[in-house]
Chain A
C-alpha cells in the first residue's frame, strides 16, 4: 500500500474583488501518493494554478477565503499558521514555477539562490550550502556547475534556468513536488529534456509529483493519474489510461477531440469547444459545463456530484449521463470528440 502523502478534501478558494466574490476553486478533493505523478489539466481560469498555490499557502491575502483541508503527512496546510507554513515550504513541499526568468531573482547569483533555499531550513555554514548547491546543479545536468553557480539568471538559457529551478526545488528532498506548467515557456525540444529530468529525479527521490499543465501531450508522457478541472471544479479524475481511452466527461471529450491526430487525415477545421468558460463571479448553478455542452439535458441544472459511475472506484466524473450514453455520444467519426460531425 503506497503511502498517501497529500490528502485534499473539499478545497474551496474564493477572492473578494471590486465586482463581487470570485470563486476560483470549488470543492476539489484528491490525493497524491508516494511515487505517483498526478497531472492537473484545464484551460486558463480553470483553477488549477490557484489549487496548487493554495497548497503552498501562496494565495493567502486579505481578500482570500478558504474552506476545506489539505493534509500533508496528516497536517492541514490550509489552516496552518504562517510560521508553520514557512517551515514546510521548500522542505516538505516545493514548487517549480512556469517562467524561470521572472521566477528567479535577477540580482542574486544562481548558486546563492539555491543555497538560500537550503539555508532557510538547515543551520549549516554558507560554504557548505553552496557546495551542495553546486552538486545539485551538476545533478540536474548543468555543465561546469562550479563556475556557473556564480552567474546570474539572465546569463542562462531558458532550459538551464528551469534546471536551476528544479535543483532549487529538490534541494531538500521534499515529499511533494509541484510543477506549475514548467515547460510552457520553453522550446519543445528542451521541454522533452526537462520532463525527463523531472521524471528521473522524482523517481530517484520517490516523492509525489503534482504536474499542472494544459498540454495533453505532456500529460500522456508523464502522468500516472489525471485530474481534469473546469471553472474551478474537478470534472473528471482517473488513471492516465482511463482518461485517454475511456473518458467520461464531455469536457474531457472536447479536450481530447481538439488535439489533431498523427494517424488520421487532418480535419478541415480543428474542432474546438464552442463558447467560452463562465464567469467565476456569478457561476451558473448546476453543471458548470452545461452552457457549452451539446449533450446537456434538464437534469444538468443540478450540479452532479463527483462520483465513480463505473466499476473502477478510481475513475470519477461529474456528469449525469449514464456510462452507456457516454460511450455512444463521445465518438464522432471513430474518434473521441465533442462536436458532432466537426471532423470530416
Chain B
C-alpha cells in the first residue's frame, strides 16, 4: 500500500512538472507573442513596454522565466497579465462555482446513464433499446457549445422558463442557485449520458453471456437479483476508471464553454478568457490544476476498482 502511494505521488509530481513545462513551451513557440505588450495595453508606448519587459523579466532566457513563474505559482503570488489579479486566489474563489456546476451534473449523468444503459441492455434488440441507442448516439454527436447555446435560446429566450445567465450563491438562496444551474447541468449531462449509457450497455451485454451469470440464474435468483448483483456490479468496474478521468478534467475547468455561455464565474470562464488573451499564468495554473485532479482521481479510481474486483487486489 505504501509503495502504491509512493509511486502515485512520484508520477503526480512528474506529471505536474511536465504539464507546466509543456504549457510554457507552447508560448515560446509563438514568435509574435509579446506578453509585455499584452499587459501594457493597446495604447502603450515603447518605453512602457520596455519597462514592463524588464519588470517581469520577459527578456530573460526560457528556463529563468520558467523558474520564476513556478516560484510565483507556488508561493501563491502569481498574477495574471490581463487584470493584475492574483491567479491562485482567483482559482480559489471561482472553484465553488465550478464545483456547483460539475458535481450535480456528474450525479445526474451517472444515475441516468446507469438506468438507461441497464434498460437498453435488458431489452437489447427491442424497439426501446433502439430508441435509446439513437438518443445516446445523438447526445454524443452534439458539441457542448452548440447544446449550451441551443438550450439557452430555447428555454431562456423563446420559452422563458429559466433565467438566462448568471450564478446565485448556494448560501444566499439555494432554490435560485439550483434554478440558475438547471440548464448548464443539462448541457453537460446530455453528452455524458449518451456516452456512459452506451458503455454500460456494451459491458452489460458482454457480462450477460458469461458463465457465472448463467450459474446465478440456475441458482434460482430472480432476474433483477441476477442483473444487479452480478451483471451490473461487473459492468460498472470499467466505468469507474472512465468516470475518474472525465470528472477530473471537468473539475479542472473543461466545462469552460458552458461557463462562458451561461455566464457562470467559474474556473473555466477564467481559463477561457486567459486563453483568448494569451495570458500565460492562468493557463499554466489551470493546466497544473487539472493535472493534479487527473492524478488524484485516477489513483482513487484504481483504489475503487481494487475494492470491487478482488482479483486485482491479490495480484498487486
- A107 contacts B218, CB within 8 Å? no
Measured between C-beta atoms, what is the minimum distance from A301 to chain B in Å?
A: 39
B230 within 8 A of partner (CB): yes
B221 within 8 A of partner (CB): yes
**Given A90-B218, A95-B218, A117-B219, A154–B212 Cβ distance below 8 Å?**
no
Whole-angstrom distance between the alpha carbons of A308 and B216 in the complex? Answer: 40
A217 within 8 A of partner (CB): no
Measured between C-beta atoms, what is the minimum distance from A13 to chain B in Å?
A: 16
- A99 contacts B211, CB within 8 Å? yes
Whose C-beta in chain A lies nearest to the C-beta of B230?
A105
A116 within 8 A of partner (CB): yes
- Residue of B215, B221, B225 near A103 (CB, 8 A) is B215
- Which secondary structure dominates chain B's binding surface? helix
- A107 contacts B219, CB within 8 Å? no
**Given A102-B211, A104-B212, A105-B212, A58–B308 Cβ distance below 8 Å?**
no
- A56 contacts B218, CB within 8 Å? yes
B222 within 8 A of partner (CB): yes
- A117 contacts B220, CB within 8 Å? yes
- Residue of B212, B222, B223 near A106 (CB, 8 A) is B212
B125 within 8 A of partner (CB): yes
Residues of A within 8 A of B219 (CB): 89-90, 94, 116-117, 120, 168
B-facing residues in A26-62 (Cβ within 8 Å) = 56, 58, 62
Whose C-beta in chain A lies nearest to the C-beta of B225?
A120
B233 within 8 A of partner (CB): yes
Interface residue range, chain A: 20 to 34
B310 within 8 A of partner (CB): yes
A97 within 8 A of partner (CB): yes
**Given A106-B310, A107-B308, A97–B220 Cβ distance below 8 Å?**
no
Residues of B within 8 A of A116 (CB): 216, 219, 221, 229
- Residue of B214, B221, B233 near A86 (CB, 8 A) is B221
- A107 contacts B310, CB within 8 Å? yes
Interface string of A88-117 (1 = CB under 8 A from B): 111100110101001111111000000011
Whole-angstrom distance between the alpha carbons of A168 and B308 in the complex? Answer: 23
**Given A97-B215, A104-B215, A154–B311 Cβ distance below 8 Å?**
yes
A320 within 8 A of partner (CB): no
Residues of A within 8 A of B212 (CB): 102-106
Interface string of B280-312 (1 = CB under 8 A from A): 000000000000000000000000000011110
Whole-angstrom distance between the alpha carbons of A82 and B222 in the complex? Answer: 9
- Residue of A82, A83, A97 near B211 (CB, 8 A) is A97
**Given A107-B233, A152-B310, A154-B311, A97–B221 Cβ distance below 8 Å?**
no
Residues of A within 8 A of B220 (CB): 86-91, 117, 120-121
Measured between C-beta atoms, what is the minimum distance from A32 to chain B in Å?
A: 17
Residues of A within 8 A of B233 (CB): 107
Residues of A within 8 A of B211 (CB): 97, 99, 102-103
Measured between C-beta atoms, what is the minimum distance from A167 to chain B in Å?
A: 12
A10 within 8 A of partner (CB): no
Measured between C-beta atoms, what is the minimum distance from B144 to chain A in Å?
A: 35
B273 within 8 A of partner (CB): no
B-facing residues in A165-197 (Cβ within 8 Å) = 165, 168
B234 within 8 A of partner (CB): yes
Residues of A within 8 A of B308 (CB): 107
Interface string of B169-203 (1 = CB under 8 A from A): 00000000000000000000000000000000000
- A58 contacts B217, CB within 8 Å? yes
Whose C-beta in chain A lies nearest to the C-beta of B221?
A120
Whose C-beta in chain A lies nearest to the C-beta of B309?
A107
A131 within 8 A of partner (CB): no
Q: Given contacts A87-B220, A105-B216, A105-B230, could you give 10 more A-B pairs where the C-beta distance is less than 8 Å?
A: A62-B125, A91-B220, A106-B311, A107-B233, A107-B308, A107-B309, A108-B229, A120-B221, A120-B222, A154-B314
Identify 15 residue pairs between A and B in the complex whose beta-carbon atoms are under 8 Å apart, listed by A's number. A86-B220, A86-B221, A90-B218, A90-B221, A97-B211, A97-B215, A103-B215, A104-B215, A106-B310, A107-B234, A107-B308, A108-B229, A121-B220, A152-B314, A168-B219
Per CB-CB distance, the 3 closest pairs between chain A and chain B, nearest first, are A90-B220, A89-B220, A102-B211
